[in-house]
């Protein structure tokens, strides 16, 4: 379940920085061990998973975002998905993955059922700090925020845990947001829906129409770093957000 949670989080993070219709940009994502990463079994297991998921140097995605949804094309292999795989994030939060090399596709829930059920029972406590702190990134003024989410793990007896392993899960998300690029109503709605699945629905700053220029998500002693660049506006064809008629549906390779 931890592996599915990490994959789901990585996919969703690419869609919670909405843009005006339609905007093309590049997102780079990579993973690394966080400073002072723990040596508990959970951190060690998650660290190994991420080492296998992310290629050396990370992954690059060409993203188009707007009222039709979010379309991203990955340039490197990631999480059992080939280089060139296209992810279509629909307005209802569901995802369709296209493999142009084999002309196949599969449907992927925005958040795996097991991960969603687990998060629902964790009752996250979310705190936002560093409000009102601004920095300049790529020539754009951005507000820096730090979110800390702590969730009690259901059914976890602290007395039975290995030494050094906490009975709760803590995730931090440091993000830099700019209002230089404005969001469309549809993209903002999609962003809000994604955030709700992670217990972040009440964090207005993440769905107020600003663009993420940089984000660092830390959990299990691992950092996932995201940066966006190269923004251009265009009118994207509706065909880019649809499954081609000659593609065949297959089971998801993500387990």
The predicted-structure confidence for 42-90, as pLDDT tens digits, reads as follows 666 666 666 677 888 899 999 888 777 888 899 999 877 899 999 998 7
Q: Which of 213, 205, 242, 247 is nearest to 230 (CA)?
A: 213
Pull the structure tokens for residue 165. Answer: 């392993």
Whether the CB-CB separation of 206 and 236 falls below 8 Å is answered with no
Ordered by where they begin, the domains of the chain are 2-244 (2.50.20.10)
Q: What does DSSP assign to residue 250? A: -
Pull the structure tokens for residue 185. Answer: 């109503």
Chain-wide mean pLDDT for the chain? 76
Angle in degrees, CA 233, 75, 194, rounded to 5: 65
- The whole-number pLDDT of residue 141 equals 95
pLDDT digit string (tens) for 88-118? Answer: 987 776 789 999 999 999 987 655 555 555 5
pLDDT at 9 exceeding the cut of 60:
no
pLDDT at 216 exceeding the cut of 80:
yes
pTM listed for this prediction: 0.77
Q: Which of 10, 59, 65 is nearest to 185 (CA)?
A: 65
Report how far residue 249's alpha carbon sits from residue 87's, in angstroms, rounded to the nearest whole number.
14
Report how far residue 157's alpha carbon sits from residue 155's, in angstroms, rounded to the nearest whole number.
6
Between 192 and 82, residue with greater pLDDT: 82
Q: Which of 241, 229, 206 is nearest to 105 (CA)?
A: 241
């Amino acid at each position: 379940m931890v592996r599915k949670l990490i994959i789901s989080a990585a996919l969703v993070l690419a869609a919670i920085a909405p843009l005006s219709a339609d905007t093309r940009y590049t997102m780079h994502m990579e993973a690394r061990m966080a400073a002072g990463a723990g040596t508990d079994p959970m951190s060690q297991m998650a660290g190994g998973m991420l080492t296998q998921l992310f290629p050396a140097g990370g992954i690059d995605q060409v993203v188009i975002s707007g009222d039709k949804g979010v379309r991203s094309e990955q340039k490197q292999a990631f999480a059992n998905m080939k280089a060139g795989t296209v992810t279509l994030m629909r307005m209802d939060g569901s995802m369709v993955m296209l493999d142009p090399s084999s002309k196949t596709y599969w449907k992927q829930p925005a958040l795996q059922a097991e991960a969603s059920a687990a998060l629902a029972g964790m009752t996250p406590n979310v705190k936002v700090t560093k409000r009102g702190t601004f920095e300049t990134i790529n020539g754009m003024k951005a507000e820096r925020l730090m979110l800390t989410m702590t969730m009690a793990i259901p059914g976890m007896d602290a007395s039975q845990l290995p030494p050094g392993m906490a009975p709760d899960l803590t995730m931090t998300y440091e993000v830099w947001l700019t209002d230089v690029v404005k969001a469309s109503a549809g993209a903002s709605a999609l962003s809000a829906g994604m955030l709700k699945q992670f217990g972040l629905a009440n964090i207005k700053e993440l769905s107020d129409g600003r663009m993420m220029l940089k984000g660092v998500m830390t959990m299990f002693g691992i950092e996932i770093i995201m940066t966006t660049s190269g923004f251009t506006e265009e009118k994207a064809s509706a065909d880019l957000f649809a499954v081609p008629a000659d593609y065949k549906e297959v089971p998801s390779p993500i387990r």
